Structure 1
Amino acid sequence: MSSSTLLHLLLLSSLLFSCLSNARLDEDDFSYIEGSPNGPENWGNLNPEWKTCGNGMEQSPINLCDGRVIQTPALGKLRTSYQAARATLKNNGHDIMVNFKSDAGSQFINQVQYQLKRIHFHSPSEHALDGERYDLEVQMVHESQDQRRAVTAILFRFGRSDPFLSDLEDFISQISSSEKNEVDAGVVDPRQLLQFDDPAYYRYMGSFTAPPCTEDITWTVIKKLGTVSPKQVLMLKQAVNENAINNARPLQPTNFRSVFYFEQLKSKLGVI
């Protein structure tokens, strides 16, 4: 073998190793381990496009305190019209995501229609209610025609199995035990997540809870808790990278933001 051929092979090997190393770095570009070099407190320094994670003034998640909310009857009841739709289940290393491939319905906020695009899972919950974090948070991400975004969050405590997750368990197993990171989940029905009648909820302006931590996100956090089995949460944790087993961002400062609250008033005669 000539020296020039050997040099070319070495260069190709070096390039291949570099590409593989960069791929691994991309997969582990940030972590949820506080105190680590790529942990939450350092997200804003890891990538210029993520600087809002470090200097943003309207970051999420936050602690929602009943004693500090503004009762706002004008918000009105949640207006949703979800429907079953085709979806894939994707493991992006940091969390498990339901990605809708057809029309899954929408939510209306201030007369604006927001289409449901995807659903994420975080454990423990990212938001806290009066200082308490729960066992799971499901985040339903919506987008309007003019690219505005809204997220509806439902918090869960341990108890009965959640029917929505029960329907996904086989698919979660597939992306946990094979090299596939995305599988066809068939038809997924988001209505299984919001089975509460006229739930009370919090509303505030915040951000995405993972890089790039984009702000100007309208958050709706349902007050009533759902239930999920420990087995279901364990399955979600086992599917992601080790640095995202507890994939909840630390609570962020409220920074004088207003948090609005709606609850349907009831009298002895029924709903007012």
Structure 2
Amino acid sequence: MEVSKKLFLIMAMVAFLYINDASVEQEEFSYKRGAWNGPEHWGDINKDWETCKTGRMQSPVAVDDKNIIVAQQPEDLQWSYYPKNAVMMNHGHAIVIEWKDEAGAVWINKTEYSLKQVHWHMPSENTINGHRFDLEVHMLHQRTTDQKMAMISNLYKIGNPDPFFTKVEKYIGAISRKMDAKVEIGIIDPKEISRVIDKYYRLKGSITIPPCTEGVTWTINRNVRTISVEQLKSLKEAAVVGYERNARPLQPLNGREVELFA
């Protein structure tokens, strides 16, 4: 088999693990520091997860405006999303929304990444200027040609209710504390998650759960949004016990450049 074909099969398998999670036994990893399966040991649990400890482009990271590169030319960042039927699931380590049909894509420098899912992290995984936010929402996208991924991150602080979450929070109870629970939530428009992205950070990183696959194009929205105390509480109460906090510790940049596009 050609090397390119082998690489494609490996990337396809990694994407399947991250997007579907059904093949990852939840008890195999946790976010509890010091535990045998905590973040510092992810790379030791499974040989396929070694990148979690050996990778040089791991996520999340600490973004510091003192050490960024301000992009001199505008980037070609576009997106087109469509309202489609969706389901909400409790994967244990995260509450996830997936669309039943193609719900659109993001284009980064004319490369298309199809939207696959949205999930929540509490508190935020990435930080900006030393500040960790109350919530981070990841929009996972993937190329159909080689399975490469692109993540759009939206950060939230406590404040007014989030309009998007207001529309979906009534379904939370159906999957609360239930591993692999699923509920139909009707037509959901992805555009309502990221309404404004006019200033953002860009860097190369990884997914933030095992197997910590690298080569992910990260777009971190600089426009911080708000979520109410009550909404955040409902998310935490829906999490499977032990996963109320599901943020991976910060990873070293290892010389990576972080660009700011405005």
Give, as a single letter, the amino acid of the residue that structure 1 aligns with 2:237. Answer: Q
Deviation of 1:240 (Å): 1.6
Residue equivalent to 2:19: none
Deviation at 1:67, TM superposition (A): 1.2
Q: How many angstroms apart in 2 are the aligned matches of 1:180 and 1:117?
A: 18
State the Cα deviation string for residues 201-260 of structure 1 (Å, max 9, x = none).
000000001111100000000001010011111111111222211100000000000111
Q: Does 1:193 align with 2:186?
A: no
Q: Output the amino acid matched with 2:260.
A: Y
Q: TM-score, normalised by structure 1?
A: 0.84
Q: How does 1:65-104 map to 2 (within 5 A)?
A: 65-76=64-75, 78-104=77-103
How many Å apart are 1:49 and its aligned residue? Answer: 1.0
Matched, 1:182 2:182: yes
> Quick check: which has more Rg, 1 or 2?
1
What is the CA deviation profile of residues 70-111 of structure 1, one whole-angstrom value per residue up to 9, with x for unaligned ones?
111334263111121111111011110011111211110121
1:22-70: per-residue Cα shift (whole Å, max 9, x none)?
x9x9231111111111110011111111111111110000011111111
In 1, are the aligned partners of 2:51 and 2:211 still within 8 Å (CA)?
Answer: yes
Q: Residue 26 of structure 1 aligns with which residue?
A: 25
Q: Is the CA contact 1:203–1:218 (under 8 Å) kept in the aligned structure 2? A: yes
Q: How far apart, CA to CA, are the structure 1 residues paired with 2:76 and 2:44?
A: 40
User: 2:90 touches 2:179 (CA, 8 Å); kept in 1?
Assistant: no
Q: 1:58 to 1:178 in 2, by over 3 A?
A: closer
Specify the alignment match of 1:139 in structure 2.
138
Asked whether the equivalents of residues 76 and 108 of structure 2 are also in contact (C-alpha less than 8 Å), the reply is no
Write out aligned runs for 1:77-226 (5 A): 78-146=77-145, 147-176=147-176, 181-196=181-196, 198-226=197-225
Identity %: 40
Distance 2:234 2:192 in 1: 19
Instruction: Give the distance between the partners of 1:46 and 1:166, measured in 2 at CA.
Output: 38
Alpha-carbon distance between aligned partners in 1 of 2:173 and 2:155, rounded to the nearest angstrom: 23
Deviation of residue 178 (structure 1)? 6.2
Cα deviation, residue 180, structure 1: 6.5
Gaps of 5+ in 2: 1-21
What is the identity, as a one-letter code, of the residue corresponding to 1:144? R
Determine if the alignment matches structure 1 residue 244 to structure 2 residue 213.
no
Structure 2: which amino acid aligns with 1:135?
D
Q: Name the aligned partner's letter for residue 104 of structure 1.
A: A
Task: Report if aligned partners of 2:177, 2:241 keep a CA contact under 8 Å in 1.
Answer: no
Secondary structure of 1:254's counterpart equals coil
Decide whether the 8 Å contact of 1:126 with 1:248 is kept in 2.
yes
Residue 177 of structure 1 and its aligned partner are, at CA, apart by 6.4
Aligned-pair Cα RMSD in Å = 1.7
Letter in 1 for 2:51: T
> In structure 1, the residue corresponding to 2:175 is in which secondary structure?
helix
Mapped to 2, the partners of 1:248 and 1:182 lie a distance apart of: 22
2:234 counterpart SS class: helix
Q: Secondary structure of 2:204's match?
A: strand
Q: How many residues align?
A: 239
Q: Does the residue aligned with 2:230 lie in a helix, a strand or coil?
A: helix
Please, what TM-score do these two structures have when normalized by structure 2? 0.87
Matched, 1:38 2:37: yes
CA offset at residue 195 of structure 1? 1.8
* Separation of aligned partners in 1, 2:158 and 2:76: 27
| Structure 1 CA distance for aligned equivalents of residues 194 and 60 of structure 2 | 20
